[in-house]
Homo-oligomer: A and B are copies of this chain.
Amino acid sequence: MQRRNTNQRKIIYEIIKSTDIHPTADWIYEKAKMYIPNISLGTVYRNLKVLQEEGLILEITDGRQSRFDARTDRHYHFKCIKCDSIYDIDLDMLHISADLKHLTKKGFKINQINIDMEGICPKCSKGVNLEKNN
């Protein structure tokens, strides 16, 4: 399929790249309206799908709602159960040595490993945050 480089798509991508809060579709939509006032939420969703297919963004989902991330290199996520923020966890913070030999021996072909952590973030443990973010 031949893809066009529309203004909507460019702006949506820029918005995601411009933040590290791992925004929801709705948050992106609200931001996008500042640039294209009559953009529609459907367009946001369609472009989020396209950007994923192109490998430019990743979808993070907690079951309720998807969030999006323009960081596509290997990293993991930490979600604070108090403020709902999502933190990027770099590999050098988390040394993982997963011995996958057993699994491949049994016939599993592993495409992707997701590691998600949940707990309380530094800000919330210090009592800096009062309520839910984002």
Q: Mark A36-65, 1 if CB is under 8 A from B, else 0.
A: 000000000000000000000001011100
Contact A114 B111 (CB under 8 A): no
The residue that A98 contacts in the complex, of B61, B95, B116, with Cβ under 8 A, is B95
The residue that A121 contacts in the complex, of B107, B117, B119, B120, with Cβ under 8 A, is B107
Complex alpha-carbon distance, A110 and B81, angstroms: 10
Contact B110 A117 (CB under 8 A): yes
- In this assembly, does A99 line the interface, its C-beta being within 8 Å of a C-beta of chain B? yes
Q: Which residues of B contact A103 (CB under 8 A)?
A: 78, 89, 93-94, 117
- In this assembly, does A1 line the interface, its C-beta being within 8 Å of a C-beta of chain B? no
Q: Mark A120-131, 1 if CB is under 8 A from B, else 0.
A: 111101100000
